[in-house]
Amino acid sequence: MDEEEEEGELEKDEYVVQKLTDICYGGIDRKSCIYFKVQWKGYGPEEDTWEPIENLSDCPLKIKEFVQEGHMRKVLPLPGDVDVLCGGPPCQGISGLNRFRNRDDPLNDDKNRQLVTFMNIVSYLRPKFVLMENVVDILQFAEGYLGRYALSRLVAMNYQSRLGIMLAGCYGLPQFRMRTFLWGALTTMVLPKHPLPTHNVVIRGGAPNAFTQSVVAYDEIQNPTLKNALVLEDAISDLPKVGNDQADDVMEYLVKPKTEFQRYIRLSRKEMLDYSFGDKTGPGEGTLMDHCPLRLNKDDYERVKRIPFEKGANFRDLEGVRVGPNNVAEFDPEIPRVYLESGNPLVPEYAIKFRSGKSLRPFGRLWWDETVPTVVTSANPHSQRILHPSQARVLTVRENARLQGFPDYYRLDGPIKERYMQVGNAVAVPVARALGYSLGLAYLRKHDGSDGPMLVLPANFFSPGQTEAVVPADEVAEE
């Protein structure tokens, strides 16, 4: 209840709202509704909680106060106040894990409605610029229904629009990660361009046939100078050895950076961003955060220990598995089934049956000379290659963060599973930086559309010193 409405003694389990301090919509394990962060009267900030709006029906004055204060501080903007609106509305209804996908009318699926909400916000706020990020499946599922919807909504709102498919590896990361980026700009503004690759990453499929021309790459007749693609070793070979049960502690690096990428990623916030003030929020000099893996259960840990420490190793290398016709994994009838101490089988049924037995992902080990496919939101080894090349564990939160380009000074928050999710859901940092540079040029009207829809980034836009080589630029797509 509001403080103003407090009378007499409170009933049991009844509390007084001191102030509403923040707002969000939904979240992990929450209902799909508006939530307010509540500061309770008589309690410290560590006791603040997120409450659904339905729980605050007795607090209209506090809600009014929050809205008025937000308007004064421009936390809650009005139409015409917004320069840039960025977002990545999830479209979980098109996920391959969803067996009941609605191909006839994808927007009728509640799991895809956030795309509609995003466009409705654009319609209401009328920002000068719009940037939407999403998975490439929005251009593939149901003949690109959702991607075409997003593009047509912007055009219908009288926005200039431009769609491009970009790979994180092409901008200085050892990760492919193909994503769709949709620009929008009012007709009074300059439409931003998609930045061209700086690194040579060979594309092996991934872009929908109808949108291959949207892949951001140099023309075949061009012969640009691109830097060599980065591999896993470039990113994580300097990190300390940790075990499956590593505590979530701050630790020291132990060795100096071995590559230019490592030297750059270990810079402090002040050094990286050239701040003129001290950095009091990051780790101390020479310390490392979030270098801990998801702790595997006893059975999975035993399986991981038995996966050979060699390139290409996976569950097929476990005792009792053979590869039959058409490269399909199956149990070897000539070898008795092997069981773990728990009584569960060494080779689980789900590994054999995953992708009809043709997948190499379950309990797959990454290797030092690889550009990894895509950092995802989970560290579960049952259906993906995420085992460390030389240690019996999955990649740590920090290792995943490096593959996404997050500097080591970034402090991630929450339980370990949520930190993996934060990293996996993010836009790769170098890609975001390149897009931000393009946006800045457009905002300042430093370029126009006369020289095409793509932008050449300045030399050494990313970490300097990496070997350059002249390579064919048309070989730029995902594993």
- Active-site residues: which are they? 91
CA angle, 187 then 193 then 198, to 5°: 175
Give exposure, 222-253, as e/b (b: 16+ Cβ within 10 Å): eebebbebbbbbbbbbbbeebebebeeeebeb
Is-contact 238 264, C-beta < 8 A? no
Strands 251-252 vs 225-228: parallel, antiparallel or unpaired? unpaired
Is-contact 116 168, C-beta < 8 A? no
The token pair that represents 208 in the structure block: 């929908």
- The whole-angstrom distance between residue 362's C-alpha and the CA centroid of its chain comes to 21
Q: What is the dihedral of CA 9, 15, 19, 25, to 10 degrees?
A: -150
Strands 329-331 vs 321-323: parallel, antiparallel or unpaired? antiparallel
Is-contact 203 341, C-beta < 8 A? no
Q: How far apart are CA 171 and CA 52, in angstroms?
A: 41
Q: How far apart are CA 266 and CA 475, in angstroms?
A: 31
H/E stretch holding 18: strand 17-25
The token pair that represents 38 in the structure block: 């509540």
Q: How far apart are CA 311 and CA 233, in angstroms?
A: 13
Give the number of other CB atoms < 10 A from CB of residue 87: 17
What is the chain's alpha carbon radius of gyration, rounded to the nearest angstrom?
A: 25
- The one-letter code for the residue type at 130 is V
Q: How far apart are CA 305 and CA 388, in angstroms?
A: 11
Is-contact 450 244, C-beta < 8 A? no
